[in-house]
Structure 1
Amino acid sequence: MAALTLVAATLTLAPPARADVAAALDSHILPGFARFATAAEALATTAAADCRPAALTPAYQAAFDAWMAVGDLRLGPSETGALSVAFWPDPRGATPKTLATLIAAEDPAGRDPAAYADVSIAARGLFALDMLLFDPDFATYAPGSYPCALAATIAADLATQARALSDGWSGPFAATLRSAGEAGNATYLTKAEAQRALYTQILTSLAFTADKRLGLPLGTFDAPRPTRAEARRSARPLPNVVQAAEAAHALATALAGAPLPTADAALARLRDSAARIPDPALQDITDPQARLRVELLQQDLRTLSAAIETDVGSTLGIAPGFNAQDGD
């Protein structure tokens, strides 16, 4: 991430004063983390009362929805803190293996939310719950069983993480972003650095969604990989794509402090494309027509990214073609 800041700092065009880090914080980022903390706490409360999958599903979906508004941010408290909230991709299948090991041993940490903070990140957060609540190999547990207690513990641990992220953003890190360029701020030496740090997050999120959230299940034409779709068990792959795109657009709009006509039109097209995909889990992409619809959605994501470069990059004095992943 420091390398990204260095790349941005070498761009010499001065951004217009309209680019507004404070607006991005106050209208999008800080409320987003606060909503996630509230939703995670509601999930933990629900799990404490009834840890069965059917009881937890609505609160789980609400918490995941809230996470998607801010989950792709990877700076400040989120640079490391987001990893144990959303451990994905998981190419080696670490999450089911770690959960199976905990359950087989009835590890005491699975009944102790405080101790659970020391468990592997593969068994923490939203994707561990996705496995426990929706995978047939895990989700048949009964009330009073170890897996049921484990689900409640993971939910409680998630609530603790969500509150820590919200507090970290609303406290020290928000102050660091707001004071960019002021004496004593060694993280962002100029206001432009803070603006471009957020701009980089927007483009990186859209690239991740196109390349991973859609690229991994698409695989190749001859070898699609639908089981690699993000949170497929809970039918979240398509909603996550749309919500990530909407979050990137919302953050871009707040940061620009001005209308984004090109990006607005691109997001509308993306939503239309998503509405034409019948399977939210993207498990039908072995069918050529279904695959084509997902490929068009992937193209719409890249069009949205280019539109944000046009609309927001000009506000920040960054020419289109800026590579958010250089030096990462």
Structure 2
Amino acid sequence: MRIPLLACLTLAATPALAGTEEALSDHILPGFGGFATAAEALRVTAEADCTAEALKEPWNAAFDAWTQVGDLRMGPTETGALSVYFWPDARGFTPRTLGRLIDDEEPIGTDPETFSEMSIAARGLMALEQMLYADDFSGYAQGSYSCALVQTMTADLSAQAGALEAGWRDGFAQVLRSAGQEGNALFQTPDEALRGLYTQVLSSLEFTADTRLGRPLGTFERPRPTRAESWRSGRALDNAVLFADAATDLAITLADTPMPQTRDALERLHEVADRVTDPALQDIEDPSARLRVEIVQQQVRALSQTIEAELGGPLGLTAGFNSQDGD
């Protein structure tokens, strides 16, 4: 996933808040722990019953858990998230790669020890969605190559989730906590660590508005509903709201004062999202349905602006131009 970078973030001379520790202990580390637990439950289920119907519920639970931390692109997840969550897939690499594996019954697809060498297009949550929900893939039976492939994929996902949890818990968390201390070359001051986490909040909301919702909206003349994230599983709207929930929760942990305006903005987001008629966003060719999704997109942006004012202002943080605006 390419998250547009919010460039030119500046930090005024204010003391760092205690929010970095709260962000780690209350949001980030529990989030990665929850994802590791959910991914392992998916693996265990697949070992007992690999069929698509048996795996849809635990796969959705794993995706729900991923939304809590999936937009954190720093430390172990700066690159490690790509093989958990390969999206958008603008050129259709995932179905082509999975199709080749299945047609040729390639041995790597049934070997958990070497599957980590496989293209990221065939790994992670989005590849599993293809196997569980796409008509061309989901009809496999117990004992088939596709069954073994899904078992390999779930084992690989569980291993990745465990590695990310350990990488944060035993490594990068201490990098954030030791910001400003001797030997920490990444964060020269505690404020820099706080700024890094704050940037993740805004980047997540920006990606949700511009990509999770913007890609399927396309243009009024040419909407692109099948470009929605997880449209096959009907999760497109839920993902947008869940990632916004997670970004807001992270923002709140960074603050040392209540954030009532931010909470109100999130509540309004839930209210307008409840009015969307198709959570898969497949009805947006209808002007009324499109308008409802556009209102959700506008509210995600309003939430981001509220966080900038209510958290960024007291922190002394201001966002400059967006690196993709062409300015």
- Give TM-score, length-normalised by structure 2: 0.95
2:158 pairs with 1:159: yes
| 1:86-235 correspondence to structure 2 within 5 Å | 86-235=85-234
- How big is the shift at 1:7? 4.3
Q: Which amino acid aligns with 2:249?
A: A
* Other-structure match for 1:35: 34
Alignment check: 8 A CA contact 1:39 1:62 kept: yes
The whole-number CA distance in structure 2 between the counterparts of 1:314 and 1:68 is: 26
Shift of 1:322: 3.9
Distance 2:292 2:109 in 1: 41
Change (3 A) 1:254 1:101: same
Of stretches 18-27 and 187-196 in structure 1, the one that deviates more from structure 2 is 18-27
Give the Cα separation in 1 of the matches to 2:41 and 2:112: 16
The equivalent residue for 2:294 is 295
Matched, 1:78 2:77: yes
Counterpart amino acid of residue 52 in structure 1: T
Q: Distance in 1 between matches of 2:8 and 2:181?
A: 20
Letter in 1 for 2:51: R
CA distance in structure 2 between the aligned counterparts of 1:5 and 1:178, rounded to whole angstroms: 23
Letter in 2 for 1:272: E
Task: Tell me if the contact between 1:204 and 1:324 (Cα under 8 Å) persists in the aligned partners.
Answer: no
Letter matched to residue 316 of structure 1: L
For residue 57 of structure 1, what is the aligned residue in structure 2? 56
Judge conservation of contact 1:19–1:315 (CA < 8 Å) in 2.
Answer: no
In the alignment, the residues of structure 2 paired with residue 201 and residue 323 of structure 1 have an alpha-carbon distance, to the nearest angstrom, of 16
Pairing 1:274–2:285 present: no
Deviation at 1:257, TM superposition (A): 2.7
Distance 1:300 1:287 in 2: 20
Question: What do the CA deviations read for 1:152-172 (whole angstroms, capped 9, x no partner)?
Answer: 110000000000000000111
Structure 1 pair 39–28 and aligned structure 2 pair: CA distance change class (3 A): same
How far did 1:12 drift?
4.7
CA distance in 2, matches of 1:199, 1:317: 11
CA distance in 1, matches of 2:103, 2:219: 37
| Structure 2: gaps spanning 5 or more residues | none
Alignment identity in percent? 56
Contact 2:201 2:247 in 1 (8 A): yes
Normalising by structure 1, we get a TM-score of 0.95
2:316 paired residue number: 317
Q: Aligned to 2:114, what secondary structure does the other structure show?
A: helix
Residue 238 of structure 1: aligned partner: 237
- Aligned counterparts of 2:322 and 2:56: Cα–Cα separation in 1: 36
Distance in 2, matches of 1:217 and 1:238, equals 11
Using a 3 Å threshold, how does the CA distance of structure 1 residues 182 and 106 change in structure 2: closer, same or farther? same
CA contact 2:16–2:194 (8 Å) conserved in 1: no
| 2:6/2:322 contact within 8 Å kept | no
Superposition RMSD in Å: 1.9
Unaligned runs of 5+ in 1: none
SS in 2 for 1:113: coil
User: Cα distance, 1:6 vs. partner?
Assistant: 9.0
Q: Distance in 1 between matches of 2:253 and 2:259?
A: 10
Count of residues paired in the alignment: 324
CA distance in 2, matches of 1:278, 1:164: 38
Shift of 1:14: 2.1
Distance 2:129 2:259 in 1: 35
Tell me how far apart the structure 1 counterparts of residues 11 and 260 of structure 2 sit (CA, whole Å).
Answer: 26
Q: Which amino acid aligns with 2:271?
A: D
Q: Distance in 1 between matches of 2:28 and 2:323?
A: 21
Relative to 1, partners in 2 of residues 1:182 and 1:215: Cα closer, same or farther, differing over 3 Å? same
Q: 1:6 to 1:292 in 2, by over 3 A?
A: closer
Name the amino acid aligned to 2:214: G
Q: Which residue of 2 aligns with 1:254?
A: 253
User: Deviation string for 1:183-213 (max 9, x for gaps)?
Assistant: 1100100111100100110000000000000
Measure how far apart 1:314 and its partner are. Answer: 1.8
Separation in 2, partners of 1:183, 1:16: 19
Shift of 1:227: 0.3
Cα distance in 1 for partners of 2:7, 2:266 equals 30
